[in-house]
Amino acid sequence: MNTPHPPSSIADRELVLTRIFDAPPEKVFRAWTEPELIKQWFAPLPWTTPFAETDVRPGGSNLITMRSPEGDDYPNPGVYLEVVQNERLVVTDAYTRAWEPSEQPFMTLILTFEDLGGKTRYTARVLHWSVADRERHEQMGFHAGWGQCADQLAELLRRI
């Protein structure tokens, strides 16, 4: 009898970034949901974000395009699974829009914005479809890239 391999645990497939921002959750939520704000911080410099479109509601889609310094565009389509104003966003690339499955799902992003009395504990929890996907994301520079974007986000939050 063939015994299937036990499934990997969620912890084997997740990457997490946490920061404390000197801004209320409302501002952090806006920075993640308003296209003009997303364009100002989303890609780690010298990359840019020339295009951002959001329909922030469960089942609504988003499309955020990152551009490399060489001018190559990398569109990132997704669908919002959960939206709790100023508290939580859950987005997946398993769908591109209107429940249309993507060709190669990679991750689900769970963002939480915890109110610390004028500050925000920001947690980005990235759940990958497989351990290999998580490892690939780490090799792509998750910690450095997402950390740099969090620094850019903190700078934006000081200005809005």
Burial of 13 (0-12, 13-18, 19+ CB in 10 A): buried
Task: Classify domain 15-159 at the CATH class level.
Answer: alpha beta
**Nearest to 152, CA basis, from 9, 2, 21, 64:** 21
pLDDT score of 3: 45
Q: What is the mean pLDDT of each run of 10 residues along the chain (160 residues)?
A: 58 96 98 98 97 97 97 96 98 91 94 98 96 95 95 97
Strand partners, 52: 64
| Burial group, residue 100, by CB count within 10 angstroms (0-12, 13-18, 19+) | exposed
Ramachandran category for residue 81: left, alpha or beta (phi over 0 → left; psi -120 to 50 → alpha): alpha
pLDDT given at position 75: 96
CA separation for the pair 59, 82 (Å, rounded) = 8
- Burial bucket for residue 76 (CB in 10 Å: 0-12, 13-18, 19+): middle
Q: Are 122 and 99 in contact (CB under 8 A)?
A: no
| 24 close to 118: Cβ distance less than 8 angstroms | yes
Domain spans, the chain: 15-159
